[in-house]
Structure formats: C-alpha cells, structure tokens
Chain A
Amino acid sequence: MDNQYVITLFVVMAMATFITRAAPFVLLGRFASHPFLAAISQLFPAMIMMVLVFFSLVTLEYAGHIERYVLAIGALCWTVLIHRMMGQALISILTGTAVYVVGIQWFGL
C-alpha cells in the first residue's frame, strides 16, 4: 500500500479543513460581517447538507443490486424517523447504519 499517497492526501485535507475553520477569525472585520454572509448563514449550511446526503447516497456501492437502493432508502427513512422521535444524533446514526449493515450482511441484500 502506498503510504505516501495516504499521508499527502490527509495533509491536504487537514489544510483545507483548517482553512474553513480559521477563515472567519482571520477575515474578521473585512468580509466576516458582510450582510450577504449573515443572510445566507442559516440557509447555506442546510443546502450543503442536502447536497451531501445525495452525494453520500449515490456513492454507496450498489453493484447493480436494486434491493440495495430500497435498503438505502429504508435505512434513510429509519434515521429520519428515529431522529425526529428521539433527537439523539448518535442513536440515529448508529441505528440507521445498523439497519443498512444488517440488511447487507445478514439478509444478503
């Protein structure tokens, strides 16, 4: 396995992550207080999450199994339902993942 590739990729992603976290501190007074940012601060993160939900769904390995699409939608609905009922992020994530894993590994979907 090419360790140099992994390490470089991690360093690149660490830099990008740090840039997004440090930017508002460093840019304070210049762009951070722009009314456009204030106006979209509520809407933009939610839109990104919607795009990422779609991205993560389509990048699951379906390998042409139609049952897996159904399973993924089922596990997604389960996650939403449990989160709406209990509001505990960890329980929603772990049980949602469990539904998908059990469907694939135990029921051979």
Chain B
Amino acid sequence: MIRNRAPVTRALIDSVPVAFGYIPLGAAFGLLFADLGYTWILAPFAALIIFAGSAQFLAVGLLAAGAGYLEAFVATLVLNARHLFYGLSVLDRYPVRGLARWYLMFGLTDETYSLVTTKPVPEPADRVPYYVALTALNQSYWILGCTLGASMQSLFQLNAEGFEFALVALFVVLLLEQMKTMDVQWPLLVALVASMGTYALLESQFLVMAITLCVATLGLWYARTADG
C-alpha cells in the first residue's frame, strides 16, 4: 500500500472487495423484502437507517411472521451482540468526539470492522477522513445493492423461493471465520445442544432462551477458571 495517497482514494481502493460482497448480498435482501409485497423504496430506507446485513435478513423473517416490536428489538440486540466486541478493538483508532465518531459507531459492520482492523492505521491527520470515507463507501454499496434487488423484484416479479438460504450461508461463513481464532471447541457444542434443547421445548421462540443458556455457561466457566 502506498502510504502518502490521499485518504479518500485509499478508502476507495480498500473498499472494493466490500462492494463485491455488499451489492449482491444487498440485492438478495431487496429481492426477499420486495417479495413480501412491500414497496421497494423501503429497502434502501432499511439500508440507510439499519445498515446491518444479518439484521435486515432477520427483519424479512420477522415481517413475514408479523412479529411484535419488542420481539424484534430483543432479537436484533441478540443477533448483533457480536458487535459489542468489535468496538473494543477499534477504540484506539476512532476519533474520541464529534459527528464523525457517531457515524463511525453506527457504521461498524462486520465488513467495515474487518477492513479497519486489517489495513494499516493511517497517519493521525488522515484517520478521520479515511475511516469516514471507508464507512460511507461501504454503506453506499449496501444501499445500492438493496435498491437494485428490491426494484428488480417489483419490476419483474422474480421467483424468490429458496433465496432465504442466503441467511444460513451468511451465518455459516461468519461462524467459520469466528472459529479461526478459537482454541477450544466445547462452546460450539454447548451452543448447538442449547439450541436443539430449547427448540424442542419452545419451537420458534427458542432464540432468546438458547442465548441466555450460552451466556450462563460462559459465566459458570469463567467463575471456575477465575477460581482455579
């Protein structure tokens, strides 16, 4: 990487791989969303205010099921809980105050996070323009994808059956990426058993209970290792 290139140009180059990911994935969301019969303009609206791939795919499922607002709120918190750990690792790079700080917090998606943590940290004077440009470019790719998918679907009435598997594939890939940094496997077995057990008892309402069991297990594990 050339260090002295203008921060916005550098952000443009660095964000290209995200464009290849966000445009098709956003289009898949737009397609599924418009397939529910809603007006296409609400797809870019979601991309503008939510800007979270997995949460927006979850929204399609929640809308189809006619879910309540509280249920949607809790499900989104739980789904995005991994973001709690993202902020910790970029705290020292992001500005400490100002509008830029709020936008960067808002736009800390999986992909933005992976770029911010893997690309070299710019010179202090270049940091804010570089990170803001990177985040804004990523969001514009996402809005573009969501708009394309939803407008195509309302124009051509495509057969969207089966596309909901994109959500499964997305989570599988995120899981495989998380597993790379793990040195133990037992938590995954606990998570699987907790999911199956609570699903058998509660069916589609199992999500919150399964995650509570995961947190409780980690709490017990931490208490034991901290003692010993």
Contacts and interface: CB of A to CB of B under 8 A. Distances in A.
A42 B179 CA distance: 9
Given A46-B179, A93-B166, A21 B210 contact: no
Contact of A79 (B42, B169, B190): B169
B69 interface: yes
Interface stretch (B1-9, B17-25, B136-144): B17-25
Interface residues of B, number: 93
A72 B168 contact: yes
A1 B28 contact: no
A90 interface: yes
Given A25-B87, A55-B207, A61-B164, A93 B170 contact: yes
Given A24-B85, A43-B182, A52-B79, A17 B69 contact: no
Contact of B80 (A11, A21, A54, A105): A21
Nearest to B184: A43
B180 to A, nearest CB: 9
Contact of A100 (B55, B73, B108, B162): B162
B172 A53 contact: yes
Contacts of A101: 161-163, 165
A84 B180 CA distance: 11
Determine chain A's interface SS by DSSP, over half rule: helix
Return the 3 tightest CB-CB contacts between A and B, nearest first: A24-B87, A16-B76, A101-B162
10 contacts: A10-B46, A14-B49, A21-B83, A24-B84, A44-B215, A52-B171, A76-B172, A96-B168, A97-B166, A105-B159
Interface of B: 20-21, 24-25, 28, 36-39, 42, 45-46, 49-52, 54-56, 58-59, 61-63, 67, 69, 72-74, 76-88, 91, 94, 101-102, 105-106, 108, 159, 161-179, 181-182, 184, 187-188, 190-192, 194-196, 199, 204, 206-207, 210-211, 214-215, 218-219, 222, 225-226
Interface of A: 1, 3, 5-25, 28, 32, 35-37, 39-61, 72, 75-76, 79-80, 83-84, 89-90, 92-94, 96-97, 100-105
Given A9-B59, A75-B165, A97-B162, 13 more contacts: A12-B72, A13-B58, A24-B86, A25-B101, A32-B91, A39-B225, A40-B222, A47-B190, A50-B191, A53-B172, A55-B207, A58-B199, A94-B169
